[in-house]
A and B are shown apart, each in its own frame.
Chain A
Amino acid sequence: MTREGVPIDVVGLTKRFGSVLAVDDISFHVEPGRVTGFLGPNGAGKTTTLRCLLGLVSPTAGSTTIGGRPYRELVDPVGTVGAALEAASFHPGRSARHHLATIARGAGHPERRIDEVLAIVALDTVADRRTGTYSMGMRQRLGLAAALLGDPPVLILDEPGNGLDPAGIAWLRDFLRGLAAEGRTVLMSSHVLSEVQQTVEDVLILAKGRLVRQGLLRELEDPDSRAVLVRTPTPERLRDALRDEGLVETGSADAMIRVTGATSAAVGAAAFKHQVELHELYAEPSDLERTFLELTGGEAQP
């Protein structure tokens, strides 16, 4: 990427719809060259924040800028920011190619770019079909194609993983990381942490209209609470082995022993060294999801 990175800045953003305070005085900075996850349960204010960023909703207070300018003052909006907000913003009777052409034509971007973006999202073979016949995943990909039309340095994607199958999510992860590696700014929202866990580096966590955490995703994980579970027919011999290797047992149930603060490799090595027979050995699932739920008020989301 030869262009300079374009950051996103939000300062003191507040949006009130009648008596509902949708976004409550939030400020953040999104760095170019990384994928930033905008997380929070449904109704936390993510979409409203993104719509304020894009000039679709007028803030009650505060400001939002992209590369230092409000969206409405960008010289080339489509060539600066690519946005995919909801997976349904197509006329069901219009083909994907025509949908993209209405955007390219209005923005004055070359129409040969349409074939390029259709190929990127693998919709080139169905481009002339009416979008009403598309699956949810195809709509998501068409939304992404529209966002890429102006080859923009900034991408703003609202729940881009919704409706994608696991293969689609894996593809999206690699694709977005690739875009960020080119120096682009990628801001993607999600209400499902596990969906973005392997995609994003930075996180912004929103709950009830307030920003409750911002920073690196890995800072959200508490390394001290990482645990390995191990099962053995000879628990006493394993305990001796762990003690010798300076590993801490933090609990046991039946033949399962829980070891905190160690990797499964370290526990396995200790057992091997002391010739302890193991029947199971695995790392406890990350408690990131738990932290996320705590931060966002603990309400389980569908």
Chain B
Amino acid sequence: MSRLASPPSETAGRPSLGRLVQSELLKIRSTRLWWALLLGAILLVLVQAGFTAAFEGEDQGFGDTSVLPPGDSPELLRTVYTQGFFGGYIFALILGITGLTGEYRYQTITPTFLVAPRRHPVVVAKIIAHLIVGAGYGVACTVAAVVAGGAVLLGKGFDLGLTADGVPRSIAMSVLAMALWTLVGIGVGTLITNQIAAILVGVAVAYIVEPLFGLVLSVIDAESVGKFLPTAASTGLFESFAYGSELLVWWQGGLVLLGYAAVFAGLGILLSVRRDIT
């Protein structure tokens, strides 16, 4: 064996947070999952943003509250351009879930914790790396929403309206919210370490359980609770069209989302640090 051909640097081997974040970013970048998920997200966003813009001002068929605002209203513009979030957040959630469950599934958690045996810096690094990639997803999906939604609006003779009332903030917030959803995913992944089960539960809760729960709450006149559900809180944060539902003020919605992300990420740190890796 060639003895240490490369002289060790002063700080070699000390796993700093910055190095661990770089390692986590490389883990995401070096498999194909990240772009497959992003591709799925962009396709869904193109469809959702395109259709939302196409149906501006139209009645969706269930009463007064189902009439979309017209194409020149800021509310419609905010709704169209934040479809980047509504189309893509489930993919950001899945990316976050696989961030930790993938390590358990393929047993790479062993080398990961051998590099940083104190463990919590690894989970913090994972959270930071996923925030970065999640924000990247947010930007890409928002661009897709603007391209598809904007093209339809222009085609119908409206302006793009990117600087209309509240639109820039809603776009910025939808990028941030996308990043936060990866943290929810990391938390779900620590609670349910089986990758397939975690993804199924995550998607089912976001797409089926939460809407049903919201519906039940609105039927029993408990919308003051329903507005705190994650998707409703996101809608509040973006000030997008909500079919007449009661919403939180934008900054309240943001704080609620931040709360969800913090709770799940915190669970991720706590649970990972204690668990035996067998």
Task: Please report whether the interface of chain B is mostly helix, strand, loop or mixed according to DSSP.
Answer: loop
Number of contacting residues on B, CB 8 A?
42
Query: Is A116 in contact with B5, judged by CB distance below 8 angstroms?
Result: yes
Contact with B along A248-280 (1 / 0, CB 8 A): 000000000000000000000000000000000
Stretch at the interface among A72-80, A186-194, A294-302: A72-80
Query: Is B11 in contact with A108, judged by CB distance below 8 angstroms?
Result: yes
Query: Is B19 in contact with A107, judged by CB distance below 8 angstroms?
Result: yes
Q: Is A54 an interface residue (CB 8 A)?
A: yes
Query: Is A150 in contact with B13, judged by CB distance below 8 angstroms?
Result: yes
Query: Is B30 in contact with A83, judged by CB distance below 8 angstroms?
Result: no
Residue numbers in A under 8 Å from B113 (CB-CB): 55-56
Residue numbers in B under 8 Å from A38 (CB-CB): none
Contact with B along A81-101 (1 / 0, CB 8 A): 101011011111111001101
Q: Is A146 an interface residue (CB 8 A)?
A: yes
Q: Which of A47, A57, A77, A90 contacts B114 (CB 8 A)?
A: A77
Q: Is B163 an interface residue (CB 8 A)?
A: no
Residue numbers in B under 8 Å from A146 (CB-CB): 111
Chain A nearest Cβ from B166, distance in angstroms: 41
Query: Is B107 in contact with A72, judged by CB distance below 8 angstroms?
Result: no
Query: Is B5 in contact with A107, judged by CB distance below 8 angstroms?
Result: no
Query: Is B12 in contact with A72, judged by CB distance below 8 angstroms?
Result: no
**Interface residues in B57-114 (C-beta closer than 8 Å to A):** 102, 106-108, 110-114
Chain B nearest Cβ from A241, distance in angstroms: 51
Residue numbers in B under 8 Å from A148 (CB-CB): 1
Q: Is B26 an interface residue (CB 8 A)?
A: yes
Q: Is B224 an interface residue (CB 8 A)?
A: no
Query: Is B26 in contact with A101, judged by CB distance below 8 angstroms?
Result: yes
Query: Is A54 in contact with B114, judged by CB distance below 8 angstroms?
Result: yes
Contacts A55-B113, A103-B115; A92 near B14 (Cβ below 8 A): no
Query: Is B117 in contact with A72, judged by CB distance below 8 angstroms?
Result: yes
Query: Is B102 in contact with A55, judged by CB distance below 8 angstroms?
Result: no
Query: Is A108 in contact with B107, judged by CB distance below 8 angstroms?
Result: no
Query: Is A106 in contact with B115, judged by CB distance below 8 angstroms?
Result: yes
Residue numbers in B under 8 Å from A105 (CB-CB): 19, 22-23, 26
Chain B nearest Cβ from A83, distance in angstroms: 6
Q: Is A182 an interface residue (CB 8 A)?
A: yes
Residue numbers in B under 8 Å from A55 (CB-CB): 113, 117
Q: Is A239 an interface residue (CB 8 A)?
A: no
Contacts A91-B31, A110-B12, A120-B1; A85 near B117 (Cβ below 8 A): no
Residue numbers in B under 8 Å from A95 (CB-CB): 30
Query: Is B6 in contact with A113, judged by CB distance below 8 angstroms?
Result: yes
Complexed CA–CA distance, A166 and B20 (Å): 39
Query: Is B13 in contact with A88, judged by CB distance below 8 angstroms?
Result: no
Contact with A along B1-37 (1 / 0, CB 8 A): 1111110110111111001101100110011110000
Residue numbers in A under 8 Å from B277 (CB-CB): 51, 56-57
Query: Is A86 in contact with B110, judged by CB distance below 8 angstroms?
Result: yes
Contact with A along B148-165 (1 / 0, CB 8 A): 000000000000000000
Query: Is B12 in contact with A76, judged by CB distance below 8 angstroms?
Result: yes
Query: Is B116 in contact with A106, judged by CB distance below 8 angstroms?
Result: yes
What are some 5 contacts across the A-B interface (CB < 8 A)? A88-B106, A92-B106, A105-B19, A108-B16, A120-B1
Tell me the B residues contacting A by CB distance below 8 Å. Answer: 1-6, 8-9, 11-16, 19-20, 22-23, 26-27, 30-33, 102, 106-108, 110-118, 122, 274, 276-278
Tell me the A residues contacting B by CB distance below 8 Å. Answer: 1, 17, 47-48, 51, 54-58, 71-72, 74-81, 83, 85-86, 88-95, 98-99, 101-103, 105-110, 112-113, 116, 120, 146, 148, 150-151, 175, 178-179, 182
